[in-house]
Structure 1
Amino acid sequence: MKKESLSHLKSKLFVKLFMSYLIIITLFFAIFSGLIIYDATSVYRSKKYQEYNLKIQAYTNSMDLQILSAKHIISSVNSSETIRKMYSSVVVENKSMDPYLFYQGLGELKKIKNLSNNFDIFNIIVLFKGYNRAYTASTTILLDENFSSILSYAPFYEIGTAGEVLGLPNKNELTFNKESIIYGDNYYYSSSSGVVNGTILVMFQKKSLETKLRNIVGEYNGMTLHYKGELITEYGEPEGMVFQCASSVNRDLVYKIFVSKSAFQMGFQTSVYIGLGIGLLISVFFVFTAYIVSKRYYSPIGNIARIVEPVQAEGDEIENIISGIQTLIGERNGYREKMVTISPYARQGMLHGILNGNMEQERLKILSDSNFIDLKKPYFEIAIANIDYKGSNPISEIHYRDIIDIIQTVCSIMSTEETQILCYIKDNKNLFLIVNSEEEEQLENTFYTLHQAILKEIDDEDFMITFGVSKVEDNMNRLKEACQEAMDALDNMLTGGRNAVYFYENSRSLDKKEYYFPKDAIRRVAKDLKDRNIDDLRKFLDEIYKNNMDKYDAAPRTIRLLVDELHIVTLNALKINNVFNTTQIQIDKMESNVTLDEIFHYYYAIYETICNQLEDLVTPGKDIEKLNQDIIDYMNENFRNTEISLAHIGELFGVSNKYISLMCKNNLGVSYLQYIQEKRIEYARTLLQTTEFSLEQIAGMSGYSNMLTFRRNFKSIMGMNPSDYRQ
């Protein structure tokens, strides 16, 4: 029985039938494997391209913040009244520098540098044309002759030494010989005259360029920096795939990174092996199925072959079977019973089908094309629907949930066989809408119609629905990019407002980088906050808004730069006035899904709140400068009192400990404790030189209750013990 069950394996017809299935299954596995590997490789490379494009953009934005810091510093120097007095004294009036004015100027430069809050800044250099000294944030440097050269172009950007930039290569000073990232511009004594009166250089640590590159980009071959088409510097080997990005602040500045091609070669991917494993299992299942089907269809022929035995002659197996059948039909005795075995197969037409290759093809067609046609709409477009409430009555999260339910209901009603509309909730105020259609031209009109239908169904003017719509796509692999395009398109609400439909093409068509912003913004805001002049602050914001709306047609990304600059100016102005220490105000940066009107109203409210809090803190007859001077006078008069402390002074003047500490650093250049100790030791020095009091008496008279503390502080400041100093 076992021999008969395996006899079909010896049949050439069975082998050919089974091998035909194996060839089809092998082709299927090869094509399936190729598609899996190709798709995985394409996705991997696409992600890598996107990754490095995002990295070079992030790196460029990081360096742009340095340039903005440098611009603010140069603007502050040009608008500084102290620096202007220094220039007038030594150049215009040709007089010697007043020592007080000199130290006041250095303090001004140091304050400007500290207010930048940029730890990458190495130094600031200011040179007056026609004068033989260079001023920095910490000292002054004597030049061999009067400074006469000016920058070859301004603004100036280069990596090198200040000596090379200024034409002073032989100057033996660290400031002039340290290689740095240099951003320079002209100094103007009078901005209205347009006459260049000197040079201002802002020097950044060179290593910050490489550190940012390493931290942000990670793996790379090399990097080059170009300004006005000229190569400024390079790191590593400029070989491999090139990714570049121009600065948003200065389009002449271009950053390029070079990445090895090996970084785009896909390594071990678990998903690929899982896919190939699944394909192999399916193929094995198909092989087993093919064996069963082949055996089933060969069974009638096997039965016929056994009927027409004995041994067949060599030759074509099918011809031998046909010949045997003819022999059986020609004999009349003893074979009629055997023909009964053949007749069922003959009646079914199966034998004829096998011999002619038509083996019930309808049974082999497992999947019908009609099962997939409805899921293969060629075109799709993605929108993000933003929900906003502008009413005066408070609402809860459930109200937003109701609006989301309405949007989903409208999408379900408008979805048809030809155009499907799907909804996916992003968060409680945003939904992704996907429209899938066979007609590309219908997609844009579908979103307009859908937007109007949603507004009509909501029937509440306090709720505003804004759409950002991507480009039309026909490749599902670009689903993620389409979502990003939709969010970029939604950014157009910055200038266009809410309750509208914005398309991605329109959001990038006029991507200009120019916008209006006052050069002396920090000074103006700081002064108006100090004076609690809310009217001038409103005029300042109105000036920015009106000029940008009337004269500039800026894209959303450019408006973001303007808003960032306004945020930085506000923070710096608050620091100048110590507002963070005297008020309980907190300023948050408005990130996304807002209009420009909402942003400016936010800063209107911020300025008004600050002015009101400052008005409550400081009486009209006592401003912050007077308060600071009163605190300093009190410390000068009472430093010998052993009970004096930060808490005591803060309680006496109604300010915080932190306020006093920052006031001492900003006005005296040292900490509170250091100032008190220096005053006490200076007084003790005088007593040691002019009196015969004992050391214990002098310590007590100087404000020390502990002799050990007195000795330690005296030695720390004077470099010797008080007893040695008296001798």
Structure 2
Amino acid sequence: MKILIVDDEDIQRQKLVQLISESPLSFSDILCAPEVPTAIDIIETHHPDIVLSDIRMPVKNGLDLAQYVKETYPEILVILITGYSEFKYAQAAIRYNVFDYILKPIDAESTLSCIRHAIAKLEAARRRESNYEVLRSYFNENESYIQKQFLQELLFWSSPMSEDQLLVQKNLLHIDIRDFRLVVIKCHFYIDSISNQIEEKYYYSHLAELAIKKRDNNALLYNIGDAIYWIYPSESDGFSNYAMMKDMELLLNELKENDVLFQISISSLSNNFNHLNTLRRQITICQSHYENHPNDSIIFYDDLSTKSYCLFNLHEKAQFLSTQILAGNVKEAAKCLDSFSSDLSESKSISEEIFFFLLSSLSFTLREITQIHELKDEILNELSTLKRTIGKSYSINPFFPIVTSMCRLVNSQYQANGNTIVELVLKYIKQNYNQSISLTSVSEYVQRNPSYVSRLIRQHTGKNFTIILTELRIEESKHLLKETNKKITEISDLVGYPNQRYFNRVFSSYIGMSPNDYRKITQTFN
């Protein structure tokens, strides 16, 4: 690891070189430059890991160097040396991603501590990079396996991914399929008494997989036992259906040389991978059809009677709708509600059976919302009004405002609960700011997860935990500096900063001057 010291004062440079070389810090090279242009040449040639630079120098200053490093070698960490009167420059350095600053007069302990922190950050970044390379290598070597895990989750898990998660996964796995059908190929023996039948089924399904890969090496497949799940790209026009049928027939012709019967089940068309679990259930319906029609080799789900399946599917959708409402997710709840109509017809009209099924489902979901609120009474009245609906046609449209109101009711309940928790958190901080407290200790006090508490604090106050705690400590220290004659060391300890040097830095970063300068100014005006 290399460090570059940039300072126009020879004595200062020599002192820093001596300090670092005699310390336990391990640098392969300690480089020096008396000015910024020379420093830039050294950076270009030797590529140091850390640049330790004074701010005020002739020709160009330390901020110019920090800007150059940020734009050209952002991985290099810059530490600036500044005096109290130059603090406004140090604040400007934030724009250039300066790692830290050291206050003049230079203190050996704080300087070495600052450099140690920079080394630790660089080492952590290199470990992350190394881990990332290992993960990337593993992914490249096991992409096929990871792809199968992805399909397994979508096929057999009932909880859908978010649209963002799905998009990330598809991009990561280089899946570029828009409209598709789920195709399942399963083998059956003509003779039931063949020995080692299970092993042979696995073998023949493997032959089917090879035959598919021969036709399309990038085919998206999931092989489990004697069945192959195939994400088959397709279009909605009739020609595509005809072409798909011919494609399946050609595949069966290639496989018929073996003493095995292959049967192919084909789902409805979809453009959403989250529908795979539902499409798999359609395949189950197709496969049950084979029990009564063993001579059929290719079955499209769309050709079967779907009434029983649609009713089954309604319960599944209703469960998902309830989950989204109780999560306060208006967008996903509305999308799910819309599917009750779009799945069964092209218009917003629905059957009487589905209309009253939805009424019952939403009524049960409303009971799970425990909050007492006038909005809940309004929703109950709207549901009661709909229950008295009698007509020749029924529509999904009246349910949209009801579902939206239910989501609002849930979110208001979350808001009320969140307010209570944040109030407890703020009370705890106010009572214990002079102690060594953290987000973890606060979370334990309110008996909640730290990440949840952190999110609540930001939502309700617009600030994070650290900022709230620091602002309270700084305000109290300002009061003690102005109204008492206590030593700064004592004040630092009273407001929760056992380390006075750290207190000085934090105070200066918030107020723009040191605690001592603040006391002098306030006493002068008073």
The structure with the largest helix share of the pair is 2
Q: TM-score, normalised by structure 2?
A: 0.30
Q: Which has the larger radius of gyration?
A: 1
Q: TM-score, normalised by structure 1?
A: 0.22
